[in-house]
Amino acid sequence: MARTEIAILGAGVTGLAAGLASGYRIFEAKPFAGGLCRSYYVRPGAARQLCRAPKDHSAYRFEVGGGHWIFGSDESTSHLIRSLTPVHEYRRRSAIYFPDRALIVPYPLQYHLRFLGKETASKVLCEISRHSHKVTRTLEEWLLSSFGRTLTDLFFGPFHELYTAGLWCSIAPQDYQKSPLDWAIAMRGATEDAGEPAGYNSAFLYPELGLDELARKLAGGCQVEYGKSVVAVDVKKREVSFSDGTGIRYRSLISTLALDKMLDLCGVEVPCLANPSTAVLVLNLGAKRGKHCPSEHWIYVPRSRSGFHRVGFYSNVDSSFLPRWGEELVSVYVERSYRCGAQPSAGDIEEYCATAIAELEEWGWLEEVHVKSPTWIPVAYTWTLPGSKWRQMAIESMARSQILMAGRYGAWKFQGIAESIQDGLRAGSILQAHGGVRTSE
């Protein structure tokens, strides 16, 4: 067993930022850094994933977990990112698509009611004004209370059924910023243009050379040991064991591993029902652009035969996602959610890919798919049960064993890349300053 030290588990952007702030060693299971925030490249007609862009620019660029755009940066985080790699700035273009009507409505739907017709818009406005102040326990109740029955039945209900893999009726309301509601804007949008894009990601950044370049630059300032998959953590002996037979003794840890997984690795039980998570199958596609291919960056889909809930267009954000001859091409990601533990078989994935591609071709969004590249994200979104203390109790339990949980999955909360970097910087600075994890006891 190696020497006692302070260490970091996981070289996603949170772990890398913690390493950058503290100088502590990072242990990463994969042979590369970045976690889900990582680009890869596939040439037309090929299946092999390349970790770097070919010098002849002959490949599509994709993201492992679908479109990861950097929003919500504070000034210091934005400065750090820009100091590491050039970035482009964008104003969001997103929408909702209703396949039965072939209708595209700008996001957020509640601010563009005129697209639904005068009668529907008037009905929705009445329902919003009547029901927006009720106390709610579940996401379903909050959506009904906020947006009324008509809009919930039309979009919010079926979309969240797909997005949460059926959990929306039992989980607590969260991610309020994703569904903004301002009565004055909704009223204006029922008859005219509502104005500037609204919501939490109305503006975002993306590295000019891809997320993989940002991850490499972050890793360049850190001590990262790759191929170090954690198989057990002995919280009494303060030891971490890796799958290669090695291990370390720790004084304190920063862990960015998913909170439920970390509890299992530590053999720690929390005396209440665990909060759920959902997995996502991301289908990355390179294809000829269809005649009706949207110009939006991403589109929310409340109903699809194939079960997907969002289609994103990497190349509508930036043409660098395409091969050099890409004027008539499009680079796409398609997201479908699953309950945690319900990973589809290889045959199921192949069948889904075929049906999803066929559906997108029917809509006129794609033609002649050249690249089909599915990726599986076992923990993509985390949720909270109404009144649950599980997250708080789990994090406190880890802290008592000198393990500081950090990041989107480590701390079991929704956040983007910028906030994850901020989390890592904060965690690294805390441990460097105090030499250990402070508890409330």
Q: CATH no. for residue 390?
A: 3.50.50.60
Domain that holds residue 246: 2-31+226-275+384-434
Q: CATH no. for residue 85?
A: 3.90.660.20
Does residue 389 sit in the same domain as residue 372? Answer: no
* Band of pLDDT at residue 73, cut at 50, 70 and 90: confident
Q: Residue 51 above 70 pLDDT?
A: yes
Classify residue 203: in a domain, yes or no: no
Q: What is the model's pTM?
A: 0.93
Classify residue 314: in a domain, yes or no: yes
Does residue 339 sit in the same domain as residue 314? Answer: yes
Does residue 139 sit in the same domain as residue 44? Answer: no
> Could you tell me if 17 and 254 are in contact, meaning their C-beta atoms sit under 8 angstroms apart?
no
Where in 341-417 does DSSP place strands (E)?
A: 366-382, 403-405
For the chain, report the end-to-end CA distance as a whole number of angstroms.
30
Does residue 242 sit in the same domain as residue 319? Answer: no
> How far apart, in whole angstroms, are the C-alpha atoms of residue 183 and residue 416?
27
Look at residues 6, 7, 404 and name the one whose alpha carbon lies nearest to residue 225.
7
Query: Both tokens of residue 397?
Result: 């339990």
Q: pLDDT digit string (tens) for 198-222? A: 777 889 999 999 998 999 999 999 9
Q: pLDDT digit string (tens) for 83-137? A: 999 999 999 999 999 999 999 999 999 999 999 999 999 999 999 876 556 778 9
DSSP class per residue in 100-151 = TTTEEEESSGGG-GGGG-HHHHHHHHHHHHHHTT---SSHHHHHHHHHHHHH
Does residue 281 sit in the same domain as residue 377? Answer: yes
Does residue 364 sit in the same domain as residue 338? Answer: yes
Classify residue 293: in a domain, yes or no: yes
> How far apart, in whole angstroms, are the C-alpha atoms of residue 71 and residue 92?
10
Q: pLDDT digit string (tens) for 171-189? A: 999 877 778 888 889 999 9
Query: Both tokens of residue 46?
Result: 């090929």
Classify residue 100: in a domain, yes or no: no
> How far apart, in whole angstroms, are the C-alpha atoms of residue 129 and residue 150?
13
Give the pLDDT mean for 168-173.
96
How far is CA 188 from each of CA 114, 120, 194, 432, rounded to the nearest angstrom?
Answer: 9, 15, 6, 51
Does residue 113 sit in the same domain as residue 258? Answer: no
Which residue bears the tokens 């989107």? 408
State the amino acid at position 156 in one-letter form: F
State the amino acid at position 262 in one-letter form: M
Does residue 261 sit in the same domain as residue 289? Answer: no
Does residue 253 sit in the same domain as residue 399? Answer: yes
Q: pLDDT digit string (tens) for 360-413? A: 999 999 999 999 999 999 999 999 999 999 999 999 999 999 999 999 999 999
Give the pLDDT of residue 2: 64
Does residue 291 sit in the same domain as residue 376? Answer: yes
Does residue 239 sit in the same domain as residue 312? Answer: no
Number of compact structural domains in the chain: 3
Residues 6+ apart with CB under 8 A from 121: 113, 114, 190, 191
Does residue 388 sit in the same domain as residue 367? Answer: no
Classify residue 205: in a domain, yes or no: no
